[in-house]
Structure 1
């Protein structure tokens, strides 16, 4: 039987690529996007898509019900992917910006997961996949809001894995480093929305941040294309015993290893130089 897979955050980047590729491979895919125009665009491309805004509980409920209507009432795999990055030094971030970051990157994931678990328990099987980040393993400066949301997802998922023991549901983390997407462009927009650059003691460093986020071309030699995330996602989909964690990109392997072996002050010396 063809597996039904719900993917959030499919307007671009990892979500879009995975939804398109899995649709072409014959899986029963339901993509979701926040904006109606993106939903329409994906549907026109032959990718079945529903509107689901992870910052709205009602939208999550409505979107899930629309997805179930498409799949015939089952969700075999949930891929929580919708997220964005809010740049800026923590001291410069309005608390409201941090709340917005967690609404999109954490609380919305919890609400959707909470609604999907009873369905998976009732149908007797299910897989939940969380698209985390290398920044859920180590922190980098001027990414505090995003770091915090991904560290939270890591702890949330580890806890949920323990609580799902002896159930027919598995939960896995995919932890990518840099991937080609609209992430930087979206982050630049959120930076400009929330950060008072002129009044910050980090003003000079922010110039570098804006320059990096504004570049259209990929400058990080470790950046991979979204198919690097599709591979572990397929492994989860096709495996009877998926792994708890999947590292993606060389920086994730490097920093995952260094976090385990280095004392904090030495790891900090490396991270402070990272961009």
Structure 2
């Protein structure tokens, strides 16, 4: 029986690449996007695609209903991937902006995951894959909302794995560093929508942030293509006992190691240099 996979956040980047590649490899892939225009585009490219807005519970329920109609009621793998970054110092961040970050990056994932677990329990198998970040391992300045959502996701997923240990459902985290995507462009829009740069004591640092986010190509030399995330995803699909965590990109390996090795003050001295 063909493995049925639902992937969220497929308009570009990691979700789009994984959806296309796994579809071409013969999996029954259902991609999801927040905007109907992106849904139509992916359908025109030959993918099964549903509209699913992770900040809207009704949209999540409808998206999953449409997914199960496509797959014949089965779902072997859920790849929670849809997310965005909200830049800005925490002191400048409106509470509503932080709430919106968590609605998409955590609460929506929770709603979808809760709805999927009964399906997997009934069929007697399932894999839940969470796309986290190096920023779920260490924090960096001016990324507080995103840091917090990914740190929360790490704890959420560890708990979920423990609670599902006596079931046929397996849970894994993928933890990428910088990956080529529309993430920076989307983050720039969120910054401009919610942060009053002119009134902030961080204005000069914010200019550096905007310059970085506005560049047409990644400024981080460690940035990899989405293919780097497809590799651990394929390993999870192929394994009867997938690992709890998969690091992706050199920064994740470095900071994962330093977090275990260094005293907090020493690690802070390294992290404080980031903008």
How would you bin the TM-score normalised by the shorter chain? over 0.9
Q: 2:189 — aligned with what?
A: 189
Equivalent residue of 2:197, what SS?
A: coil
Find the aligned partners of 1:258 and 1:215 in 2 and give their Cα distance: 29
Q: 1:18 — aligned with what?
A: 18
Q: 2:32 — aligned with what?
A: 32
* TM-aligned CA deviation for residue 274 of structure 1: 2.4
Q: 2:77 — aligned with what?
A: 77
Find the aligned partners of 1:119 and 1:219 in 2 and give their Cα distance: 42
Deviations 1:62-98 (A, max 9, x none): 0000000000100000000000000000000000000
What is the aligned residue count?
A: 275
Q: 1:156 — aligned with what?
A: 156
* TM-aligned CA deviation for residue 136 of structure 1: 0.1
RMSD: 0.5
Deviations 1:186-225 (A, max 9, x none): 0000000000000000001001000000000122110000
Equivalent residue of 2:198, what SS?
A: coil
Find the aligned partners of 2:204 and 2:82 in 1 and give their Cα distance: 31
Find the aligned partners of 2:181 and 2:165 in 1 and give their Cα distance: 35
* TM-aligned CA deviation for residue 155 of structure 1: 0.1
Find the aligned partners of 2:238 and 2:6 in 1 and give their Cα distance: 15
Find the aligned partners of 1:30 and 1:92 in 2 and give their Cα distance: 38
Q: 2:209 — aligned with what?
A: 209
For residues 53-72 of structure 1, the aligned pairs below 5 Å read: 53-72=53-72
Deviations 1:8-30 (A, max 9, x none): 00000000000001111110000
Q: 1:125 — aligned with what?
A: 125
TM-score, structure 1 as length reference:
0.99
Unaligned ranges ≥5, structure 2: none
* TM-aligned CA deviation for residue 120 of structure 1: 0.3
Find the aligned partners of 2:264 and 2:218 in 1 and give their Cα distance: 30
For residues 81-92 of structure 1, the aligned pairs below 5 Å read: 81-92=81-92
Find the aligned partners of 1:25 and 1:227 in 2 and give their Cα distance: 14
Equivalent residue of 2:175, what SS?
A: strand
Unaligned ranges ≥5, structure 1: none
Moved over 3 A (4+): none
Equivalent residue of 2:6, what SS?
A: strand
